[in-house]
């Protein structure tokens, strides 16, 4: 009996390791946000973005805390937090989805692969379906992923006061970059 349990335990550990071995992770991903009007420049960066890529099926998750964004100007940072993103109520942004054309990506082979990312993006408590293009680059076995796309403030119920309507565009540019590491 003891032996059987032991065998099961060993097998289970083996299976778990195998599942884990199919995943890539980063805890130092980067999101840059940018918006410019003649009146105002919003230029922020968040270097604490986490993501896991499942190399078996192309599933991808990413998450970050709103408060980890840093801005060039302190005043913009204050407004971003207090007036617009409201991290007290909605502390994080999360993406859950997959690379829809993952069959065309060979993580074992160096190269640049065009990808399409499909899934649900949650910002400011609002979840929206998104479909964006991006790239996976495999170089010397190192995997990185990046995508650039715009989000509409209105769509995520982020309100801009009338006084700032002209100073802030509805479309904010996001620049996302992950350098993945093998997940033990």
Partner 1 sequence: MNKTIKNLLILAAIGLVIGLGVVYYIFNKPHRDVAGEKPSFKVEAKVLFKEYSANEMAGNEKYGDKVIQVTGKIVEIVKDSTEVSIVLNDEMEGVNCALNTKTVEENLNKINNFQVGDEVSLKGKCDGFDMIMGVVLTQCYLVK
Q: Which residues bind partner 1 (CB under 8 A)?
A: 25, 27-28, 47-48, 50-52, 61, 63-68, 70, 73-75, 77-78, 81, 87-88, 91-92, 179
Q: Are 54 and 96 in contact (CB under 8 A)?
A: no
- The residue among 32 and 179 lying less far from partner 1, judged by its C-beta, is 179
Least distance between partner 1 and beta carbon 106 (Å): 25
Least distance between partner 1 and beta carbon 104 (Å): 27
- The residue among 48 and 101 lying less far from partner 1, judged by its C-beta, is 48
- CA nearest to 63, candidates 52, 74, 78: 52
- The residue among 81 and 116 lying less far from partner 1, judged by its C-beta, is 81
Q: Are 66 and 93 in contact (CB under 8 A)?
A: yes
Least distance between partner 1 and beta carbon 50 (Å): 4
Least distance between partner 1 and beta carbon 123 (Å): 15
Q: What is the DSSP letter of 141?
A: T
- The residue among 65 and 174 lying less far from partner 1, judged by its C-beta, is 65
108 φψ region: left (φ > 0), alpha (ψ -120 to 50), beta (else):
alpha
Least distance between partner 1 and beta carbon 35 (Å): 17
- The residue among 59 and 155 lying less far from partner 1, judged by its C-beta, is 59
CA distances, 122 to each of 3, 42, 125 (Å): 48, 21, 6
Name, in order, each residue with C-beta under 8 angstroms of 113's C-beta and a sequence gap of 6 or more.
104, 105, 106, 135, 136, 137, 138
Q: Which segments of the chain does DSSP mark as H helices, in order? A: 2-20, 74-79
């Amino acid at each position: 009996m003891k032996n059987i349990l032991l065998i099961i335990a060993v097998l289970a550990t083996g299976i778990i390791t195998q599942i884990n071995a199919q995943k890539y992770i980063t805890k130092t991903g980067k999101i840059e946000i940018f918006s410019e009007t003649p009146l105002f420049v919003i230029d922020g960066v968040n270097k604490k973005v986490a993501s896991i890529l499942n190399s078996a099926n192309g599933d991808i998750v990413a998450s970050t805390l709103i408060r980890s964004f840093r801005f060039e100007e302190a005043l913009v940072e204050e407004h971003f937090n207090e007036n617009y993103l409201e991290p007290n109520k909605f502390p994080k942004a999360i993406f859950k989805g997959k690379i829809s054309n993952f069959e065309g990506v060979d993580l074992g082979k160096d190269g640049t692969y065009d990808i399409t990312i499909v899934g649900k993006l949650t910002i400011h408590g609002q979840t929206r379906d998104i479909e964006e293009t991006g790239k996976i680059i495999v170089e010397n076995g190192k995997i990185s992923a990046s995508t650039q796309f715009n989000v509409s403030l209105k769509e995520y119920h982020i309100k801009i006061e009338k006084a700032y309507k002209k100073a802030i565009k509805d479309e904010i540019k996001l620049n996302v970059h992950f350098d993945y590491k093998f997940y033990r």
